[in-house]
A and B are shown apart, each in its own frame.
Chain A
């Protein structure tokens, strides 16, 4: 419960900072009215400006506007857009765009985890062999390849040269199917772009954890009992090794959404990523604010869920009430004290 309060507080602070930053740095009026906003000598323009200010509550003080916005936001009304008409309302825009980004994220995570687990198990079971070394190099290459570069490479190979995947995303096409006119195929490359980069990160982490697990006595015990190698790897060893992967997969949501900005823009998918880029360029602050909040909420909630999942995977965690020091223990978990082997330089 305390942790949920912490989450709420954090989200409030984030929304305040974003709200203040946008209103102090930008000039929303210009984007609503266009050039008229700067024409303060003309009485007609002044009247328009006054009207617009009243309509969008820009005549109120900053804290007052924030409270009004926050009140609307928690009831699910994200306000009106800062554009000439204010239409469609931000809520509708988000409703239209959110499912696409969600689909993309889910596909990307599925691809990432689906690639990473067999890849890591394979590498860890043959640790330090040639296969393992080759897979480490491959993982390194994918980690180092920015997603816009990967997007271009995949697009060039699969869409332009091989023509296996379609070039454009069409919002009206049905999802499930395997032709160029189905969104599944249209989203495959974007999801692959996001997923492959993440898979490499997951693989490196899971491999390390698996190697540690595989050295434990119960693995030896299982093997000597005659449990097959495959079963030991996927059933006995995998489960206790999944901790860090779950944390990383949750933290990775933030990275995936950052990547979605670039990938959605490149593949021209009208999702939240493209929406936020457009909104930033047009200084359409309510849209930016809504998306920032959605992203931050998703990020924090998934971190929270990841911690709950620990308990499901490992009964030992369920028993230890004090396992979690604070709401951010999942991040702290990986900050372990440094070994005493680091010598002071002389």
Chain B
């Protein structure tokens, strides 16, 4: 009976603001009344972590942390065979203690400050990649979506080719053949980000191109460049910004994978490289903290960026082809 009542009410009365079509469903299946949209505590926690790690990375050289290249050898006083007291260095790696919060590696270097300095490269790769993907992919996608016709055909086929390429293989190929500088690595991963970002930009542009405000601008005689920059761009930018957070996360992971294969930024230790150093079986058995420290940093950063992107996507109600890119 209840169901009947609710249905008649739904049909006859105007639906009030807070009731949704889900309200009349079987309680075990219903999603419940959708709460008012908000980003939630988790989002701000994630933002806090990302801002914190970015600040730490940027300010690392002036922060009062240990030097990541210094060997903090601990010595202990022991008796030698003749009974004299001598200072003898203790074999590193050292476990976690008050002095080294995340322990040290085999050269007695502080893992905490090495992880923070590693964040500099990992985050730089992430942000450069996202910026490149956003600029190039966004521009191409908007052009394709707005002008349609042959421009769309060409650009869309470029996207399709790029999406069917085995990405990581391409990345290791380019990095191995060119060089292992920060820019090569970032731009290589950035090129792989162009297609997913571009497809989103294209889809968005196509929907917005039919909206009234664009038609109005066209009717008023606005130039195409003006329509693209002033009318379309602000609308396409929001979903692209949420996607670009995901791109940062994926780029950090991709860089980690490259580093893990021994093919990333050569001179500095990124998170991936730190994990690689700690990942051989003997090190893992005797000193697991060498690998697990950077893993925790990497995990929290990637999870935060993923979560922020996901929340923002819900918040702005953008449905799209996100998960195709990984």
A300 to B318, CA, bound (A): 27
Interface of B is mostly: helix
B56 at the A interface (CB under 8 A): no
A153 to B296, CA, bound (A): 11
Contact A266 B31 (CB under 8 A): no
Contact A255 B281 (CB under 8 A): no
Asked, given contacts A22-B173, A277-B261, A338-B239, whether A149 binds B275 with beta carbons under 8 Å apart, the answer is: yes
Among residues of A, the one whose C-beta sits closest to the C-beta of B295 is A149
Contact digits for A263-302, partner B, Cβ 8 Å, 1 yes 0 no: 0011000000000110011010000100110011001100
Contact B161 A14 (CB under 8 A): yes
Stretch at the interface among B65-73, B78-86, B299-307: B299-307
Contact B320 A10 (CB under 8 A): no
Chain B residues whose CB sits within 8 angstroms of the CB of A71 once the complex forms: none
Q: Smallest CB–CB gap between B213 and chain A, Å?
A: 7
**What are some 13 contacts across the A-B interface (CB < 8 A)?**
A13-B161, A14-B164, A152-B275, A205-B323, A215-B22, A223-B26, A254-B164, A261-B169, A262-B257, A331-B324, A336-B320, A338-B207, A345-B238
Chain A residues whose CB sits within 8 angstroms of the CB of B138 once the complex forms: none
Contact digits for A3-32, partner B, Cβ 8 Å, 1 yes 0 no: 000000010011001100110011000000
Stretch at the interface among A44-52, A54-62, A138-146, A179-187: A138-146
A residues with a Cβ closer than 8 A to B are 10, 13-14, 17-18, 21-22, 25-26, 125-128, 140-141, 143-149, 152-153, 155-156, 160, 167, 201, 204-205, 211, 214-215, 219-220, 223, 248, 251, 254-255, 257-258, 261-262, 265-266, 276-277, 280-281, 283, 288, 291-292, 295-296, 299-300, 328, 331, 334-342, 344-345
Q: 6 closest pairs, A vs B, by CB? A: A144-B303, A258-B168, A25-B177, A295-B166, A146-B253, A148-B260
Contact digits for B163-176, partner A, Cβ 8 Å, 1 yes 0 no: 11111111011101
Chain B residues whose CB sits within 8 angstroms of the CB of A292 once the complex forms: 165-166, 169-170
Among residues of B, the one whose C-beta sits closest to the C-beta of A298 is B166
Asked, given contacts A140-B306, A338-B319, whether A145 binds B165 with beta carbons under 8 Å apart, the answer is: no
Q: Smallest CB–CB gap between A272 and chain B, Å?
A: 10
Chain B residues whose CB sits within 8 angstroms of the CB of A153 once the complex forms: 292, 295
B291 at the A interface (CB under 8 A): yes
Contact B169 A276 (CB under 8 A): yes
Contact A21 B32 (CB under 8 A): no
B256 at the A interface (CB under 8 A): yes
Contact A152 B279 (CB under 8 A): yes
Asked, given contacts A160-B284, A335-B199, A345-B238, whether A144 binds B326 with beta carbons under 8 Å apart, the answer is: no
B178 at the A interface (CB under 8 A): yes
Contact B26 A10 (CB under 8 A): no
Asked, given contacts A152-B284, A261-B169, A339-B317, whether A145 binds B324 with beta carbons under 8 Å apart, the answer is: no
Contact A291 B284 (CB under 8 A): no
Chain A residues whose CB sits within 8 angstroms of the CB of B199 once the complex forms: 335
Asked, given contacts A25-B178, A277-B172, whether A140 binds B165 with beta carbons under 8 Å apart, the answer is: no
Chain B residues whose CB sits within 8 angstroms of the CB of A291 once the complex forms: 169
Contact A127 B31 (CB under 8 A): yes
Chain B residues whose CB sits within 8 angstroms of the CB of A148 once the complex forms: 256-257, 260, 272, 275, 279
Asked, given contacts A10-B161, A156-B284, whether A126 binds B166 with beta carbons under 8 Å apart, the answer is: no
B15 at the A interface (CB under 8 A): no
Chain B residues whose CB sits within 8 angstroms of the CB of A295 once the complex forms: 166, 169
Chain B residues whose CB sits within 8 angstroms of the CB of A141 once the complex forms: 299, 303
Contact B160 A215 (CB under 8 A): no
Chain B residues whose CB sits within 8 angstroms of the CB of A299 once the complex forms: 164, 166
Chain B residues whose CB sits within 8 angstroms of the CB of A204 once the complex forms: 323
Q: Smallest CB–CB gap between B132 and chain A, Å?
A: 19
Contact B324 A160 (CB under 8 A): no
Near A by CB (< 8 A), chain B positions 214-252 give 234-235, 238-239, 249
Contact A335 B321 (CB under 8 A): yes
B1 at the A interface (CB under 8 A): no
A160 to B285, CA, bound (A): 7
Given contacts A128-B31, A296-B164, 17 further A-B contacts (CB under 8 A): A25-B177, A127-B31, A128-B32, A140-B303, A140-B307, A146-B253, A152-B291, A153-B292, A160-B281, A204-B323, A258-B166, A261-B169, A283-B177, A295-B169, A334-B324, A338-B204, A344-B234
B182 at the A interface (CB under 8 A): no
Chain A residues whose CB sits within 8 angstroms of the CB of B275 once the complex forms: 148-149, 152
A246 to B315, CA, bound (A): 27
B316 at the A interface (CB under 8 A): yes
Chain A residues whose CB sits within 8 angstroms of the CB of B168 once the complex forms: 258, 261-262
